[in-house]
Amino acid sequence: MLNLKVLTSGHVILEPGYRHQGFLSLNRMQIIIQGEGTAYINGKKQDLKAGNVYIFPLLNNVELYNEGVLEKIYGQFNLNYFSLDIFNNEKDVLVKKFDPLMIERYKSILKKGSLFHAKSLMYEILDLFSDTLDKIIRQKSSLYHRFREFFKICEEQNPLHVPVSRIARMMNMNEAYFTRIFKKKFSQTPKNYMILQKMNKAKEFLVFSDISMRDISEQLGFTDQFHFCKTFKKNENISPSRFRDKMKNMYA
């Protein structure tokens, strides 16, 4: 029922004046080891302090800044309830204290450099938020069942080949109403949701396999490699080949 996908994880020491701004297509986890920073999520300020773990929900605009040196462990992930990320439409940053005695252990896990170890670490961190996650899952359960036909298509078929109008009819709605209510609940249109799922799947292929761009585009149902590369760059602001090069040593 719950499926964790970890795309990136690591340990980094950021130089003074580091700044990052962007739209999150994946959830972000950050463990602040030393130093302080500032985050803005949709314009709302969040102080980043040593000794805390932060989870930034996907589909939000985030700006991160540290004036001095900042050391952290980070990760990007999806946590899906069926095919619905449980952090979808969440707006607030989640914050928890962590045991500083665990830092060396966390670093040693990351040094092992495998997807398995990255997932085990992420599960351990997410367990700190278990009460909050249980509450979110209970809330999302009713949403999943309301739109289960849509999510079923996203899981079992190539959603880019299924018109939204057809999905709406399967749910006994007209297309305009389905699009409007879906956007209200998930902060994005059904089509954008389907594209996001494809982009996250493409990232998995790019990071964890050596298959060609042509094969990735075919497996994801794009008309051709050019269409896939164009869509990826439009949504991620980087070409798939550059993304692969950037990430190739992450799980070496």
When pLDDT is cut at 50, 70 and 90, the band that residue 203 belongs to is confident
Q: What is the mean pLDDT of the chain?
A: 88
Residue 249 has pLDDT above 60, yes or no: no
Task: Calculate mean pLDDT across residues 26-55.
Answer: 95
Rounded distance between C-alpha atoms, residue 139 and residue 56, angstroms: 19
When pLDDT is cut at 50, 70 and 90, the band that residue 197 belongs to is confident
CB 36 within 8 A of CB 70: yes
Rounded distance between C-alpha atoms, residue 148 and residue 129, angstroms: 26
pLDDT, one tens digit per residue, over 145-165 is 888 888 888 777 666 677 888
The confidence score (pLDDT) of residue 31 equals 97
pLDDT, one tens digit per residue, over 84-115 is 789 988 999 999 999 999 999 999 988 887 77
Rounded distance between C-alpha atoms, residue 207 and residue 195, angstroms: 18
181, two tokens: 């209510």
Residue 239 has pLDDT above 50, yes or no: yes
Query: Based on the number of CB atoms within 10 Å of its own CB, is 240 exposed (0-12), middle (13-18) or buried (19 or more)?
Result: buried
- Say yes or no: do domains 2-139 and 147-247 share a fold: no
The confidence score (pLDDT) of residue 252 equals 44
Instruction: Provide the residue ranges of all domains of the chain, joining segments of one domain with +.
Output: 2-139, 147-247
Q: Please tell us whether the domain made up of 147-247 is placed in CATH 3.40.50.2000.
A: no
The confidence score (pLDDT) of residue 160 equals 64
Best CATH choice for the domain 2-139 from the list 2.20.130.10, 2.60.120.10, 3.40.140.10, 1.10.8.60:
2.60.120.10
Task: Calculate mean pLDDT across residues 200-220.
Answer: 87
Rounded distance between C-alpha atoms, residue 174 and residue 160, angstroms: 19
When pLDDT is cut at 50, 70 and 90, the band that residue 226 belongs to is very high
The confidence score (pLDDT) of residue 158 equals 67
The confidence score (pLDDT) of residue 110 equals 87
Q: pTM, whole model, 2 decimals?
A: 0.80
Provide the β-strand partners of residue 63: 21, 40
